[in-house]
Amino acid sequence: CYCHFTSPIRRYPDLVVHRVLKLQLAYEQLGGKDALVRMPRLIGKGRESLPRILPQICRACSDAERAADAASHATQKIKIAQYYEDRLGERYAGTVSWVSSMGLFVRLDLTQVEGLVSIKSLGNEWFEFDEDALTLTGADTGTRYELGQRVIIEVSRVNTTRGHLDFKLIH
């Protein structure tokens, strides 16, 4: 009974949905004959009618929304990096949120921001990456890092242009 889109990028999809709803309401409340009379005004006619161009409209709207989401995400990463730029050397508690052959991704408790503890910064020993278990295990010491592990990190480097945070593992 109710349809609402909040983002400015969704205004055109909102318009399309309302056109379809108005046509359906016309059929239900006025009957098929009167709805047919109103149909060209509601959804167009011929080659440019809504049913004919709807696949292209949907594709274009989806593409535009994906582009807007990507831009929004990139902007947020840059603003977060700017926030942490003045906090180099500060320590924070967090949780290992992902493990890869590159190192550990840590999500900070305070801001829910993620940064990378590079495998190079873990020390001079060789770390074996287990892709199935998502763990890094030190060949010499047996030190193991895994998802969900609680850690203390230090902000070691910030790249505001790319929106990247690099962390150094403290504990």
> pLDDT per residue over 107-154, tens digit each?
999 999 999 999 999 988 999 999 999 999 999 999 999 999 999 999
> Where are the domain boundaries for CATH 2.40.50.140 in the chain?
90-169
In the chain, % of residues over pLDDT 90: 59
pLDDT category of residue 80 using cuts at 50, 70 and 90: very high
Q: What is the homologous superfamily of the domain 90-169 according to CATH?
A: Nucleic acid-binding proteins (2.40.50.140)
Query: pLDDT at residue 106 above 60?
Result: yes
Residue 20 CB partners (closer than 8 Å, separation 6+): 43, 50
Per DSSP, what are the bridge partners of residue 117?
Answer: 104, 167
The pTM for the full model equals 0.68
Q: Where are the alpha helices (DSSP H) in 11-153?
A: 11-30, 32-43, 50-85
- Note the pLDDT of residue 5: 61
Mean pLDDT of the residues in the chain: 89
- Note the pLDDT of residue 21: 83
What's the rounded mean pLDDT across residues 158-162?
95
Between strands 135-138 and 127-130, the pairing is: antiparallel
- In this structure, what DSSP letter does residue 124 have? S
pLDDT category of residue 25 using cuts at 50, 70 and 90: confident
Whole-angstrom distance, CA of residue 66 vs CA of residue 92: 33
| Residue 67 contacts residue 75 (beta carbons within 8 Å) | no
